[in-house]
Amino acid sequence: MCGIAAIASHKSVAKQLYQSLLNLEYRGYDSCGMALMDQNKLALRKNIGNVGEVNDKEHFEELKGNMGIAHTRWATHGGVTSENSHPHFSNDNSFIIVHNGIFSNYQKVQKELLNKGFTFQSQTDTEVFANLLQDEYQTTLDIETAFCQAIERIEGSYAIAMITLHQPDTVFAVKKDSPLVIGINDGANYISSDMNAFISETRDTVIINDMEYVMLTKDDFTVKRLADKQSVSKQIIHVQWDKQTAQRGGFSHYMLKEIFDQPQTVRQALHIPKEEIDTIADKFLTRKQSFCVGVGTTYYVAMIGTYLFSKYAGLYVPNVSADEFPAIIPVSDDQHVLFFSQSGETYDTRMAIRAAKSKGAATSAIVNVVGSSISQEVDNCIFQGSGPEICVVSTKAALSQIIILWQIVLNVGLKNGSLTQEQVDLYRENIFEFSRTIETVLNEESGNIRNLAKETSHIKNWLFMGKSIYYPVALESALKMKEVTYLHAEGLPSGFLKHGTLAMVDENMYCLFFIPTKETKDLYESTMMAIEEVKARKGKVIGFCTDDDTEAMNLLDHYLVIPDKHPELNFLVEMVMAQLLSYYCALDLGLNIDKPRNLAKSVTVG
Ligand code: F6R
């Protein structure tokens, strides 16, 4: 996740663009830059650091021109260097672009361009698109056509803004799976990743949909569909947010914003280049034994990995909590360990990496922060590109890691013969559709979850239960509840109940069940049996179940429904619902949700 902004105006834009960068900084802050068009010349300034630091070095406000683009970066491809920061020029310096997202086929396109004699100054996927524009323009000699044809050649997620010497009065922009909005004002128009960039100038905004492109001048804008190049009429929305609310995308807390960011981060995670997935997948195939390791929420991601590897790749990949890893795992040079870390700085995970490396094991990681210690310590790293996670508790970063992990598992399953290509394609399609499902569920079920939270936030003791892959979801959801409400929530496998915990159950005990779809038959029945066990002791039972599950609905004291879409992805829909339940309980209790007591975002101590 990065932030992009563009302005076309009757007046000089440098100052406003700098303000846009400051307003977008929460979307990424490892480097930034800006390019302005002045008298048919493009001037570029960019560097590493946060927006203020870069401005101290580059003095953005000295740039001249009435039109420009700007970018604040959260690195996904290529390290944090000045060359990799945006904007990026085409080879002939006639096109300059900013991009938020991932071009998943950039290596292939880059090879084609290298064969045609193009050169590259950065390690980014973005520079490829700048040169694609030049390549297309050489044959079409028409900017709009070149822009659309270049888009046809790339895959992945993107919100792009571009200016060019060949049509110096127009900003071009396009989007797929990354956000893009327009701001409308008297004498100036804006394009940005979100309206926060221009909130101090205008609150009149237009939302751009996937596969629509924009041509924007200082006085006007046109939105067209990529499919048929026809104009689309757009509604102008007037937003009432103040600046702080805008920064959180209109949400009252970062936790809520980050929960609602998840459909986008899932789609972004699906666009991680195949080569990166392949490299780590191959380690699972060539090493005798692999482990999945994380701590806290990322430990639960690792646990989910064990279930996914077993189901889709027929492999036993044990999970270990990073803090226990050095004590119990006799790692050796024929082994491989995959680590998960949002921050890339967690002490326990770093110690586990050290332990694995000291025994010669291969190490890989899925990390959100480029340049972080963990990303540098492991042999191979995938940067998840989820954007900064500002709330102390992890939501979107964890879900994104699960989606990337799932792709690794599918790749291993395909290569070891556990899955066919058709199955892999279908699972990927289902994961993509899941991103739409959670969008719907978040929009439609929020009210119900909020009501349930109001009724239950006084409860002091919870048991969260699930079986099979719903078990790590129960653990993760209990951790979320503990972190933001400070209430006691214990996660356990539902099959475990009768082996001891049942003794605690009476009419004061509330149990939250993560119920699978009925299609899973045995799993469903054994979860239902655990619910009966609680009911028989007069315990209160709340559950997430599918909208056709009347059996569960009749049994539960309270239920929240989810659509019965893809049984294999239900556990993640329920995980998202549980994040919301924790959020609304904490809201009801009036707690400091984004900064819970005693916790820190990056745990760098042992
Ligand atoms: C829970 C949470 C923590 C982190 C853990 C690992 O919401 O945020 O449990 O998951 O401290 O942190 P990272 O992922 O930064 O290594």
Tens of pLDDT, residue by residue over 113-155, are 999 999 999 999 999 999 999 999 999 999 999 999 999 999 9
| Structural element, H or E, at residue 261 | none
Residue 37, pLDDT > 80, answer yes
- Considering the candidates 2, 32, 148, 292, report the single residue annotated as catalytic: 2
State which of 255, 259, 292, 297 you would mutate to test the pocket of ligand 1, scoring each by most atoms of that ligand within 8 A of its C-beta. Answer: 297
pLDDT, residue 590, reads 96
The two three-digit tokens of residue 509, written as one number: 């005990």
Residue 43 pLDDT grade (very low, low, confident, very high; cuts 50, 70, 90) = very high
The pLDDT of 281-293, averaged and rounded, is: 97
3 state DSSP class of 47:
strand
Is 246 a residue whose pLDDT tops 70? no
Place of tokens 């001037």: 43
**More confident: 598 or 182:** 182
- What's the 14 CA to ligand 1 centre distance in angstroms? 38
109: helix, strand or coil: helix
Give the closest residue (by CA) to ligand 1 atom 3. 296
Cα distance between residue 605 and residue 79, in whole Å = 25
Q: What angle do CA 142, 148, 150 make, to 5 degrees?
A: 95
User: Residue 30: is its pLDDT beyond 90?
Assistant: no
- 601 annotated active-site: yes
The angle subtended at Cα 184 by Cα 180 and Cα 186, nearest 5°, is 155
Q: How far apart are CA 210 and CA 205, in angstroms?
A: 16
Buried b (16+ CB within 10 A) or exposed e, 51-66: beebbeebebeebebb
Known catalytic residue at 396: no
CA of 394 to the centre of ligand 1 (A): 6
The more confident residue out of 473 and 605 is 473
- Protein residue with its CA nearest to atom 10 in ligand 1: 297
Strand, helix or coil for residue 161: strand
The residue contributing the CA closest to ligand 1 atom 11 is 296
The Å distance, Cα 590 to ligand 1 centre, comes to 23
Instruction: Identify the pLDDT of residue 242.
Output: 66
Tell me, in angstroms, the distance from the centre of ligand 1 to residue 302's CA.
12
Cα of 343 to ligand 1 centre, how many Å? 8
* Token reading at 289: 């034994």
The CA 30 to ligand 1 mean position distance, Å, reads: 21
Is residue 244's pLDDT more than 70? no
pLDDT at 359: 92
Give the binding-site residues of ligand 1, using a 6 Å CB cut-off.
295-298, 341-343, 346, 349, 393-394, 479, 483, 603
492-503, pLDDT tens digit by residue?
A: 999 999 999 999
Residue to substitute in 292, 298, 483 for testing ligand 1 pocket (most ligand atoms within 8 angstroms of CB): 298
Instruction: Supply the pTM of this predicted model.
Output: 0.81
Q: Atom 7 (ligand 1): residue with closest C-alpha?
A: 393
